[in-house]
Amino acid sequence: MQSKVFLSVVVPAFNEAVNFSGKLSQITEYLNKQKYHWEIVVVNDGSSDNTLELLNEFSQSNKGVRVVDSLHQGKAGSIIRGVRESVGDYIIFSDMDQATPISESARILTLLQSGYDIVIGSRSKREGAPVVRQILAYGMVILRTLLLRLPYRDTQCGFKGFSRKAAQRIFPVLEKIHPPHEIHGPAVNPGFDVELLYLGRKLGFRIAQTPVTWHHIKSDRVRFFKDAVSGVTELLLVRWRSVTNAYQL
């Protein structure tokens, strides 16, 4: 009889062939040292390079790693799909580049096990991050405070944890609002993290923040003007959906 999965780690992957070496190994090496039963759900986000082939090869030689092949939907769609496929009591999503190392999951799990439903990794400093990324980050802080009254210091860190109960309430709503559809080109979906936290708070779940280690990893997927416009638009849409009861909580 297979042991019950304690932790599911969801990792979105889009055209990661160039940066593939060693990243998933960092996650498996850490988890193999833990006493609990775990799984890694890697979602191939419609990669156009050989990412899927590399993921399948890795999963064949690493027990506990599952690969889900998906349409290219962007990071948000990949995470929604990965959470839906996961079976763990607790779920953490983490970036492939391990800007926040998987070892920081211990902080997340401690708070989840103490009774919190959602735990946000919070980057106290963003050393090494380009000025444009810092401007985007501070702009999001101001806008989400004005529009949504979210009291969280860092909503955009790609390292968050959920109890199964919270995930089963929040992510089906997100999937209904954002049904699977294929897109073209990279998409960072800056409003996704804000929306899921807004929903979690609206549903009455207990949310905690915890400081995590973070290292800037260079990415060509952050485009200042496009992401700024997208961020403002997505925040306004969250507010509009709430006002019009589109979430139907």
Q: Greater confidence, 218 or 98?
A: 98
Examine the pLDDT at 172 and tell me if it is beyond 50.
yes
- Mean pLDDT calculated for residue range 67-84: 95
Half-sphere exposure for 36 (CA within 13 Å, toward CB): 16
CATH superfamily of 7-243: Spore Coat Polysaccharide Biosynthesis Protein SpsA; Chain A (3.90.550.10)
What span, in angstroms and rounded, lies between the C-alpha atoms of 168 and 154?
Answer: 23
Q: Domain locations in the chain?
A: 7-243
- In angstroms, what CA-CA distances link 65 with 74, 102, 120, 216, 228? 21, 15, 24, 26, 35
Query: For 78-111, how does the pLDDT look when each residue is reduced to its tens digit (9 = 90+)?
Result: 999 999 999 999 999 999 999 899 999 999 999 9
- pLDDT at 131 (0 to 100): 57
Residue 243: both structure tokens together: 């006002």
Mean pLDDT, to the nearest integer, of 235-244? 89
Check residues 218 and 118 and name the one with the higher pLDDT.
118
pLDDT tens-digit readout, 5-20: 999 999 999 999 988 8
Distance CA 216, CA 194 (A): 21
User: CA nearest 45: which of 80, 21, 97?
Assistant: 80
Q: If 0-12 CB within 10 Å is exposed, 13-18 middle and 19+ buried, where does residue 10 land?
A: buried
For a pLDDT cut of 70, what percent of the chain falls above it? 84
What separation, in Å, do the N-terminal and C-terminal C-alpha atoms of the chain show?
37
pLDDT, average across residues 38-49: 97
**Global model pTM greater than 0.85:** yes
Report the C-alpha gap between 189 and 207 in whole angstroms.
Answer: 21
